[in-house]
Amino acid sequence: MKSISHKPSTKKHITIPLYLTNAVFFTLFFSAVYYLLLQWRQKIRNSIPLHVVTFSDITAIVTFFASFIYLIGFFGIQSLQEDILDEEEIILKEDVVPSDCHFASPKPKPNKFEAADLVTHFPDEDEDIIQSVVEGKIPSYALETKLDDTLRAASIRREALQRTTAKSLAGLPLEGFDYDAILGQCCEMPVGYVQIPVGIAGPLLLDGSEYSVPMATTEGCLVASTNRGCKAIYASGGANSVLLRDGMTRAPVVRFGTAKRAAELKFFLEDPINFDALELVFNSSSRFARLQNIKCAVAGKNLFTRFSCSTGDAMGMNMVSKGVQNVLDFLHDKFPDMEVIGISGNYCSDKKPAAVNWIEGRGKSVVCEAIIKEEVVKNVLKTDVSSLVELNMLKNLTGSAMAGALGGFNAHASNIVSAIFLATGQDPAQNIESSHCITMMEAVNYGRDLHISVTMPSIEVGTVGGGTQLASQSACLNLLGVKGANKEDPGSNSKLLANIVAGAVLAGELSLMSALAAGQLVKSHMKYNRSNKDESKVSS
């Protein structure tokens, strides 16, 4: 068999490190400048013509120009080194040993991402579009309109993103999702979708009916703990809930030339004589929007008006905003000097912890309660009634007060609210005010049993619109029996969903507080909330 040898390279590497070369030329440059300046000053003092030079002067001048030319173009040295290395790499690739030869080729240095990981082969037409997106000739957001194919648009956008950032999205799924369902409604410029596991807690026995509660979460122990709470509630005869209020809010801010004029509009809006006219204007924006009340607050020349209305089975933010816009247009005829600063002035208050939501409510206001029997507390929850009552008083009430909590007088209501919101297609950001909750516990029936309740004044949920129409989220709503709009009793599905959220929070509070009282929290999290995988192998 003919042996194959690699041809020696005819070009030599520049072996001097670039930083060392730069240091040498910097030193020569500044030394030459310093020497010439000294010589120049000496000649001026001694009246010697500047053009009279010695050999040392000539050497310094040559050194000055040589080092200056280098420093201007020293980046070229690095570029030259890279070009030489590239040429040698090409030569080595041309001389690579055939696969049937017994000689092994040198093992390449591992890169963070191989080219094959970042570049996928696409048809020529798609390849041209990808290149145009990379070069900025086609905006990424315009792909759906241009291609009229949402999956293809997401695929091309994804590939352009990988090439632009040199980062792989290999772990982010692309196929198996209905991108048509989110177009113009749920998400812009998609490149894939995130997978969140969904667990089931229950059955939750609430108001005489059983519910299997879907919870989308990546926190170990959460579903198991809520499930234990459901078990304790079930064994004690179930929980009961009451819807206290149902009204979504929007609060625009308007400005006048004087505080007096702002107060005049406040009095006009709060006058019962004017409510019928305002209600008619507001309700004309929707079949389901029904104005309930208007509350005003003056801040100098500015007026904040908080409109509250029922919104059927929708969460209702868009619905109430349209009604408010109608009223503002109507008011402008009566108050032409009114300047609308913003249709939302944060007095609503949306996606922020706020006392106005805690006190006045927003969305659905629900209270849910249960009496847990003494034997259930001991056998299922592994604690006792007096320990739970004491812990609740010191942790959820006193501790939260010490922390200056706003609506956070509970153990972990937001855990359950977030998990159900993600599973059922609610707005995750509204978990902030929806998790406002005060948990109360007291001993009843001569101290034997435990009365527990959660009061949640601002649960913001809907069963139509937004993410509720996506296939996975719709399936979870269907599991609860609240999918879509209730045509016989509009609004009843969203109200029931709010009650289920409160019931699940009750279960979650009961179980976590029991674990804390029994000293089981750390042990259970070590068992269920820690990965057994070798992370070094997973990351590689």
Whether the Cβ atoms of residue 232 and residue 510 lie closer than 8 Å to each other:
yes
- What single DSSP character describes residue 7? P
440 dihedral zone (left: phi>0; alpha: psi -120 to 50; beta) = beta
Is 219 labeled as catalytic in the residue annotation?
yes
The residues, any chain, with a CB within 8 Å of residue 224's CB and separated by 6 or more, are: 524, 528
Is 525 labeled as catalytic in the residue annotation?
yes
Single-letter residue type at 29: F
Q: Is the peptide bond before 98 cis (omega within 30 degrees of 0)?
A: no
Distance separating alpha carbons of residues 3 and 97, to the nearest angstrom: 10
User: Which pairing describes strands 408-409 and 437-444: parallel, antiparallel, or unpaired?
Assistant: parallel
- Helix, strand and coil content of the chain, in percent to the nearest 5, comes to 50, 15, 35
Whether the Cβ atoms of residue 465 and residue 315 lie closer than 8 Å to each other:
yes
- What single DSSP character describes residue 105? P
Catalytic residue among 295, 322, 351, 451: 351
Q: Angle 5-8-9 (CA atoms, 0-180°, nearest 5)? A: 140
As a residue count, the chain comes to 540
Catalytic residue among 149, 427, 442, 451: 427
**CB neighbours (10 Å) of residue 528?**
14
**CB neighbours (10 Å) of residue 264?**
14
Distance separating alpha carbons of residues 53 and 33, to the nearest angstrom: 15
Catalytic residue among 126, 127, 219, 374: 219
Distance separating alpha carbons of residues 219 and 419, to the nearest angstrom: 9
| Active centre residues (catalytic) | 219, 351, 427, 525
